């Protein structure tokens, strides 16, 4: 009886291991031979389900990776540009966006233009242009000098230009 029970437990364990193992299959390729779509499955036979889809650019760089549950987006979905830079990082629940972790834009030269993390915007040379939200938002000149912070505004040389409704003029050079 004890041996039969052990055998039954072993068989159930093996079955669960086999059903939980995943396999990948390349479903589409570009004309240059690079993979275009790879699908990850879990389970076997009639119990096999898609759990992930990964799309690629024709240069082999990952384009989109999305997790699937019951045929819907569920879990993390990430997208990249052709240079491999992250564009979006989102969490889905039953096909609906639950959270945007990160969203980015880039200049053509590859330099970061905008990142939702910290609500940061950059000049094409990489210098921070602005960050934050509302009253805590800061703006900068391309030189890196503070331009605006809350109700305060500054000249390019760093001298206070405006504080709320009060305007300060730069002295005229003689």
**What is the structure's pLDDT at 20?**
58
Q: What is the average pLDDT across 74-85?
A: 97
Q: Does 6 score more than 90 pLDDT?
A: no
When pLDDT is averaged across residues 165-170 and rounded to a whole number, the result is 77
Burial of 61 (0-12, 13-18, 19+ CB in 10 A): middle
Q: Which of 29-33, 38-42, 75-79, 157-161 has the lowest mean pLDDT?
A: 157-161
Q: Tell me what pLDDT residue 9 has.
A: 58
So what's the pLDDT on residue 36?
97
CB 25 within 8 A of CB 38: yes
By the 8 A CB rule, do 92 and 74 touch?
yes
Q: Residue 92: pLDDT band by 50, 70, 90 thresholds?
A: very high
107-122 mean pLDDT:
95
The pLDDT assigned to 17 comes to 47
* Full-model pTM: 0.74
Measured at the CA of 44, the angle between CA 39 and CA 50, to 5 degrees, comes to 25
- The helix (run of H) or strand (run of E) holding residue 26 is strand 22-29
pLDDT at 11 over 80: no
Q: What is the pLDDT of residue 135?
A: 82
Give the pLDDT confidence of 19-73 residue by residue, as tens digits. Answer: 458 999 999 999 999 999 999 999 998 999 999 999 999 999 999 999 999 999 9
- Judged against a pLDDT cut of 70, whether residue 97 lies above it is answered with yes
CA distances from 120 to 79, 92, 110, 157, 171 (A): 19, 24, 16, 23, 33
């Amino acid at each position: 009886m004890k041996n039969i029970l052990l055998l039954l437990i072993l068989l159930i364990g093996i079955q669960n291991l086999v059903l939980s193992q995943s396999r990948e299959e390349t479903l589409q390729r570009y004309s240059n031979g690079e993979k275009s779509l790879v699908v990850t499955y879990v389970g076997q036979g009639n119990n096999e389900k898609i759990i992930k889809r990964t799309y690629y650019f024709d240069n082999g760089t990952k384009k989109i990776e999305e997790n699937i549950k019951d045929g819907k987006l569920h879990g993390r979905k990430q997208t990249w540009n052709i240079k491999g830079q992250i564009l979006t990082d989102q969490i889905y629940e039953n096909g609906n966006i639950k959270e945007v972790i990160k969203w980015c834009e880039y200049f053509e030269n590859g330099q970061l233009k905008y990142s939702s993390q910290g609500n940061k915007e950059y000049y094409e040379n990489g210098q921070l242009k602005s960050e934050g939200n509302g009253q805590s938002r800061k703006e900068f000149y391309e030189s890196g000098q503070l331009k605006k912070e809350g109700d305060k505004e500054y000249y390019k040389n760093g001298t206070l230009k405006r504080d709320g409704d009060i305007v300060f003029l730069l002295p005229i050079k003689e």
